[in-house]
């Protein structure tokens, strides 16, 4: 039976990957140590997700391991080397706000942890597809230099601008402020590319915009759509940081992300890099997202606007999906922005409401 090693298997994309590839006939080894609870508090714990995966999936093996444990990672890959066809690396410290509070942990998890996995794959499973969930934060705040026009509910690019359809991977990552999180993820991103080129391994960096879905354990510092809907339903005050609430993000449902992973695995390339997000089909400003959450939940959100934006935060981000769709034309988005929010609400509303009764 083909085996997939999935890091961060209790998280949003990791758990979606575990379920998806188990359904595709893979034996799944999930690496998870619930560091999200340390990053964002006990309410963000992924322990229950890991327990549910073990209960629901035949052939799923949960391994409690820190990806910074280089020797442990090597032993794990060596033990399963004959069967591993796919590595999906989603484990990360995912918040640029949190990174500033503990840069060493952020860097060792994001950069060193990725290096450990790459080296283990090189030594034991060099032909396995190595899929890395990178981030658009590798571009730093360069997108903030785009000539945005302020509209009533959002910032927007002029339609005749070259990037109106989305930002391509040709955007420079140099001469800008990244946040320390952006730096650690950029280091990992470059390492994944280098192992692909230097050692001729099938690797890909998916530079994600906002990846989301109903299983997202949204917190104030990460996962804004899930957290926004949760605050709306539970009556928790929400703070919008900067830009008058008109900053724009594209959002892609976890299921569409994992379908992109599968498309790559079926026809892998060496050192591939793609921007991956909702693109022009699924993007929203903060003000627009608040309106949609209130409409879907049929309740009013208590929110306030802070004048201070987060360091390195983007005023506007829409991913250019053309490069990936040219290489993998059978892949298309199946969720729009309203579909995403409705799915988050539908699958969480009962437990959120029960929590405040």
Q: Structure tokens of 119?
A: 């080296």
pLDDT digits (tens, 9 = 90+) for 261-274: 999 999 999 999 99
- The rounded distance, in Å, linking the Cα atoms of 275 and 12 is 18
Give the tokens for residue 331. Answer: 């892949």
Average model confidence (pLDDT) for the chain?
Answer: 94
| Max Cα-Cα span within the chain | 57
Nearest to 207 by CA among 178, 168, 172, 177: 168
The C-alpha angle 220, 222, 227, rounded to 5 degrees, equals: 55
What DSSP string runs through 246-287? --EEEEEEHHHHHHHHHHHHHS--SSEEEEES-GGGSEEEHH
Q: What is the pLDDT of residues 303-319, one digit of tens each?
A: 999 998 877 689 999 99
| Per-residue pLDDT at 115 | 98
Residue 44's pLDDT is: 76
Mean pLDDT of 352-356: 87
**pLDDT score of 222 more than 90:** no
Q: Which pLDDT tens digit goes with each residue over 13-58? A: 999 999 999 999 999 999 999 988 888 888 778 898 899 999 999 9
Domain boundaries, the chain: 3-355
Q: Rounded mean pLDDT of 96-110? A: 93
**Distance from first CA to last CA of the chain, Å, rounded?**
47
Share of the chain above pLDDT 70, in %: 98
pTM: 0.94
Tell me yes or no: is domain 3-355 CATH 3.40.50.720. yes
Q: Is the pLDDT of residue 146 over 70?
A: yes
How far is it, in rounded angstroms, from Cα 249 to Cα 180?
A: 20
115-141 tens-digit pLDDT: 999 999 999 999 999 999 999 999 999
**Residue 216, number of CB atoms within 10 A of its CB:** 26
Between CA 208 and CA 222 the distance in angstroms is 13
Among 8-17, 90-99, 156-165, 244-253, the minimum mean pLDDT is found in 90-99
**pLDDT higher than 70, residue 255:** yes
Band of residue 223 on the pLDDT scale cut at 50, 70, 90: low
């Amino acid at each position: 039976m083909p085996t997939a090693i999935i890091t961060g298997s209790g998280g949003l994309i990791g758990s979606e990957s575990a379920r998806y590839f188990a359904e595709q006939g893979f034996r799944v080894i999930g690496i998870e140590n619930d560091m999200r609870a340390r990053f964002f508090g006990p309410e963000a714990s992924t322990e229950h997700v890991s327990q549910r995966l073990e209960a629901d999936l035949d052939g799923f093996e949960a391994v409690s391991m820190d990806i910074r444990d280089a020797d442990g990672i090597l032993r794990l890959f060596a033990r399963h080397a004959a069967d591993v066809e796919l590595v999906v690396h989603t484990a990360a410290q995912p918040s640029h706000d949190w990174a500033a509070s503990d840069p060493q942990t952020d860097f060792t998890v994001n950069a060193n942890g990725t290096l450990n996995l790459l080296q283990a794959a090189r030594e034991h499973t060099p032909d396995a597809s190595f899929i890395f969930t990178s981030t658009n934060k590798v571009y730093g705040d360069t997108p903030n230099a785009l000539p945005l026009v302020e509209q009533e509910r959002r910032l927007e690019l002029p339609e005749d601008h070259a990037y109106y359809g989305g930002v391509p991977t040709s955007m420079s990552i140099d001469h800008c402020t990244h946040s320390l999180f952006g730096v650690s993820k950029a280091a990992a991103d470059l390492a994944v590319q280098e192992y692909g080129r230097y050692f001729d391994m099938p690797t890909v960096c998916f530079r994600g915009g906002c990846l989301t879905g109903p299983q997202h354990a949204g917190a104030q510092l990460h996962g804004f759509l899930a957290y926004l809907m949760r605050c709306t339903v539970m009556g928790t005050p929400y703070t919008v940081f900067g830009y008058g609430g008109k900053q724009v993000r594209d959002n892609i449902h976890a299921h569409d992300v994992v379908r992109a992973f599968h498309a790559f695995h079926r026809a892998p390339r060496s050192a591939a890099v793609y921007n991956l997000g909702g693109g022009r089909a699924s993007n929203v400003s903060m003000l627009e997202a608040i309106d949609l959450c209130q409409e879907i939940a049929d309740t009013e959100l208590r929110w306030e606007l802070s004048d201070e934006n987060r360091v390195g935060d983007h005023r506007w981000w829409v991913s250019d999906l053309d490069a990936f769709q040219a290489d993998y034309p059978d892949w298309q988005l199946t969720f729009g922005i309203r579909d995403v929010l409705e799915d988050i609400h539908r699958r969480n509303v009962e437990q959120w409401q029960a929590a405040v009764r």
